Structure 1
Amino acid sequence: MYIAARHRQDRIEPMRELMATHSLGMLVTLNEGLPDADHLPFEFAEDGGHGVQGVLRAHVARANPVWRREGQQVLVAFRGPAGYMTPDPIEKVEQHGRVVPTWDYHVVHVHGRLRAIEDPAWLLAQVRRQTDRQEGVRAQPWSVDDAPRDYIAGLLKAIVGIEIAIERIEGKWKGSAPGVR
């Protein structure tokens, strides 16, 4: 991703916050030499023992072939607030009309190597964390424990975990995206 110096986000905390707030990431892999994208809700973990900069975790249906690309170098893109920005009328006058509209946005790109995980205990813990995080804001949150154990055990056999140790992370904060006009 091209990042002009004035748009580079080097602070890790705002990037982690964007990934947490906008957790649906686009996982980009190569499938028979062609780019392929899967949209998955990811969770960020501080380290997990694999990546100095942390790890991303998700799961996919076993039928989804993306998990078979284990070991592949991948990209996960997270997009935060975005929107069209019309030229500011005052700036237009001050700049003698030398202004143009633009698109403001915040994005984070995470690079790392894909690892597939089939361990049922890992999968159950990951599904619980993801569910608890999403359901925690509800007045009556649903829990994995609300479903019959044999049902959950069957579902766990139908998914595969994905973990990506973060090797490189880059952020681009173009304009004032959170307050897009």
Structure 2
Amino acid sequence: MYQPPHFREDRLDIQHALIRAHPLGLLVTVGKAGLAANPIPFALDEAASQLGTLRAHLSRANPQWRDFDPAQEALVVFQGAETYITPSWYETKREHGKVVPTWNYAIVQAHGRMRVIEDPAWLLEQITSMTSAQEAARPEPWAVDDTPPEFLAAQLKGIVGVEIEITRIEGKWKVSQNRPEADRRGVAAGLRALGDESALHMAELVDTRGA
């Protein structure tokens, strides 16, 4: 990933926090048919390895779990807040007009070799962990064991697990750090005026990251 120094985010806890907040990762692998990419929700086990381990499951009907090269790294891309930035928000537009649009975003890319797991106990643990994390904030959380046992057993037969021990991880927070302070204030104010969740999150990042 192209990494200008002022946009780099190398703190592992910050990278992990984005993965937990945005667990739907784009899984990219290479196989005999070439590149394959599928959006897959991942659970992160931070304690399982030095940089963390990603666990997920795919449908058996998805060819990606069969057609991948285990000797090659897989890539998982986790996209955080992102939004278009208009130059109309820049103070420098009013000063000299030499400004252009851009896009702000926060992103994490995790690399590692993927292995396939078909053990039913592992699969049950994976879907239980993922479901519990997503349901925890609900007033009446749904649980995997709410499902009739025979239905659950049939569903488990239709999926396979994948696990990636992260061996390389990169974070990039492109949130207007390269702009003068007056421009950053204008960007944050403009984003807050939009009012949607992604824009508000980005405004907070612009404020807290600074120059």
Normalized against structure 2, the TM-score is what?
0.79
Greater share of helix: 2
- What's 2:39 paired with? 39
- What's 1:149 paired with? 149
User: 1:33 deviation in Å?
Assistant: 5.1
- What's 1:121 paired with? 121
Written as runs of structure 1 = structure 2, the 5 A alignment for 1:91-110 is: 91-94=92-95, 96-110=96-110
Provide the C-alpha distance between the structure 1 equivalents of 2:13 and 2:92, rounded to a whole number of angstroms: 32
Structure 1: runs of 5+ lacking an equivalent: none
User: 1:70 deviation in Å?
Assistant: 6.0
Written as runs of structure 1 = structure 2, the 5 A alignment for 1:1-181 is: 1-32=1-32, 34-48=34-48, 51-68=49-66, 69=68, 71=70, 72-87=72-87, 88-94=89-95, 96-175=96-175, 178-179=202-203
State whether residues 70 and 115 of structure 1, in contact with CA within 8 Å, keep that contact through their aligned partners in structure 2. no
The structure, 1 or 2, with the larger RCO (C-alpha pairs under 8 Å, 6+ apart) is: 1
Provide the C-alpha distance between the structure 1 equivalents of 2:124 and 2:33, rounded to a whole number of angstroms: 33
Q: Could you list the runs of 4 or more consecutive aligned residues of structure 1 that deviate by over 4 angstroms after TM superposition? A: none
Q: Deviations over 1:71-105 (max 9, x none)?
A: 241100010000111123422234x2222211000
Worse-matched range after superposition: 171-180 or 80-89: 171-180
Aligned-residue RMSD, C-alpha: 1.8
Worse-matched range after superposition: 145-154 or 28-37: 28-37
Provide the C-alpha distance between the structure 2 equivalents of 1:163 and 1:70, rounded to a whole number of angstroms: 14
Q: Deviations over 1:30-81 (max 9, x none)?
A: 1325221010000111132xx3211000001112122222624110001000
Greater share of strand: 1
Provide the C-alpha distance between the structure 1 equivalents of 2:43 and 2:130, rounded to a whole number of angstroms: 7
Q: Deviations over 1:101-159 (max 9, x none)?
A: 11000010000000101111111011111111111121111111111112111111111
State whether residues 73 and 113 of structure 2, in contact with CA within 8 Å, keep that contact through their aligned partners in structure 1. yes
Counterpart secondary structure, 2:81: strand
Structure 2: runs of 5+ lacking an equivalent: 177-200, 207-211
Which residue identity lines up with residue 19 of structure 1 in the other structure?
I
Normalized against structure 1, the TM-score is what?
0.91
Provide the C-alpha distance between the structure 1 equivalents of 2:41 and 2:7, rounded to a whole number of angstroms: 26
Between the aligned residues of both structures, percent identity stands at 48
State whether residues 29 and 69 of structure 2, in contact with CA within 8 Å, keep that contact through their aligned partners in structure 1. no
Provide the C-alpha distance between the structure 1 equivalents of 2:52 and 2:69, rounded to a whole number of angstroms: 18
Residues 89 and 34 of structure 1, relative CA distance in 2, 3 Å threshold: same
Matched pairs, number = 178
Provide the C-alpha distance between the structure 2 equivalents of 1:70 and 1:140, rounded to a whole number of angstroms: 42
